[in-house]
């Protein structure tokens, strides 16, 4: 059976991820719907009668996304399809006190600020002290500012080039909610219905709703069935 591989961040991750990866907005949206909606990978794999391997993890940075591909590249067959949902380049990761990766985004919370929906991977100053050895809030912010430079976009473009070259016989799509993906011949995705819009602001979250996931799956399926993939150089 052919396999659909999906890689990415929370825009790729399922609404009911394994383990303890549930984010607050996941739970609120599932409770509001009364059931667990499907994400685009689940919809596409069912339509194309393929096995799905979803490697998306909420809060991932591009290094994590690329590493998740490297960890399974030897398992990918020639007839498999791959969809990469890259994130913004300001996200990055650092080794923490547990010798594990901590993923950092551009937001910081003050010590007493109420935690917002979906910000479990953001850090307050106090949390930084507990997580890292000799890493200050200023250091994190300086690294994030540095990552705004174009060389990080070129780094991503080179990773994409390597992926396409190493799997030249596969259908591959590269996309992102960050416009800079277009410099890598990828697809910039926006405009699909969000959870915030569907729930009329009851859930203040800009991830795609169930309808948005269906619309996105139709968009991707059309490109896949028309061979409009990155290896075909049509996008």
145-187 confidence digits (pLDDT tens) = 999 999 999 999 999 999 999 999 999 999 999 999 999 999 9
Q: Looking at the structure, do residues 81 and 172 belong to the same domain, yes or no?
A: yes
Whether the predicted pLDDT of 92 surpasses 80: yes
**Which residues span the domain enclosing 34?**
3-89+150-232
Looking at beta carbons, which pairs linking 68-73 to residues 24 or more positions away fall under 8 Å? 68/7, 69/7, 69/163, 72/5, 73/166, 73/167
Q: Looking at the structure, do residues 78 and 183 belong to the same domain, yes or no?
A: yes
Cut 0.85: pTM above it = yes
Q: Looking at the structure, do residues 29 and 56 belong to the same domain, yes or no?
A: yes
In this prediction, residues 182-200 reach a mean pLDDT of 95
Pairwise CA distance, residues 14 & 11, whole Å? 8
- Count of domains in the chain? 2
Q: Looking at the structure, do residues 55 and 78 belong to the same domain, yes or no?
A: yes
Residue 19 Rama label (left phi>0; alpha psi -120 to 50; beta): left
Q: How do residues 95-137 score in pLDDT, each as one tens digit?
A: 888 888 888 876 544 444 444 444 444 556 666 777 887 888 8
- At residue 8, the pLDDT reads 97
CATH of the domain at 62: 3.40.50.1110
DSSP H helical ranges for 54-150? 62-70, 125-131, 137-146
14, 117, 161 from 11: Cα distances, Å: 8, 15, 22
In this prediction, residues 205-220 reach a mean pLDDT of 96
Q: Looking at the structure, do residues 128 and 175 belong to the same domain, yes or no?
A: no
Q: Looking at the structure, do residues 163 and 208 belong to the same domain, yes or no?
A: yes
Q: Looking at the structure, do residues 116 and 192 belong to the same domain, yes or no?
A: no
- At residue 232, the pLDDT reads 44
Q: Looking at the structure, do residues 141 and 184 belong to the same domain, yes or no?
A: no
In this prediction, residues 35-39 reach a mean pLDDT of 95
């Amino acid at each position: 059976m052919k396999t659909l591989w999906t890689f990415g961040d929370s825009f790729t991750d399922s609404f009911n991820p394994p383990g303890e990866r549930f984010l607050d907005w996941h739970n609120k949206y599932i409770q509001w719907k009364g059931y667990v909606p499907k994400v685009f990978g689940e919809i596409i794999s069912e339509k194309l009668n393929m096995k799905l391997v979803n490697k998306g993890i909420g809060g991932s940075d591009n290094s994590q996304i690329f590493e998740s591909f490297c960890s399974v590249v030897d398992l990918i067959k020639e007839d498999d399809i791959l969809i990469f949902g890259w994130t913004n380049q300001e996200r990055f990761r650092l080794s923490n006190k547990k010798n594990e990766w901590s993923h950092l985004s551009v937001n910081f919370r003050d010590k007493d600020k109420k935690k917002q929906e979906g910000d479990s991977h953001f850090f307050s100053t106090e949390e930084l002290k507990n997580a890292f050895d000799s890493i200050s809030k200023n250091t994190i912010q300086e690294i994030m500012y540095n990552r705004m430079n174009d060389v990080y976009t070129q780094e991503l473009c080179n990773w994409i080039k390597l992926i396409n070259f190493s799997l030249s016989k596969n259908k591959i799509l590269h996309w992102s909610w960050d416009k800079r993906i277009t410099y890598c011949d990828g697809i910039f995705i926006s405009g699909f219905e969000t959870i915030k819009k569907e729930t009329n602001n009851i859930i203040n979250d800009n991830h795609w709703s169930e309808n948005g996931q269906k619309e996105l799956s139709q968009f991707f399926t059309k490109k896949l069935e028309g061979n409009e993939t990155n290896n075909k150089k049509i996008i």
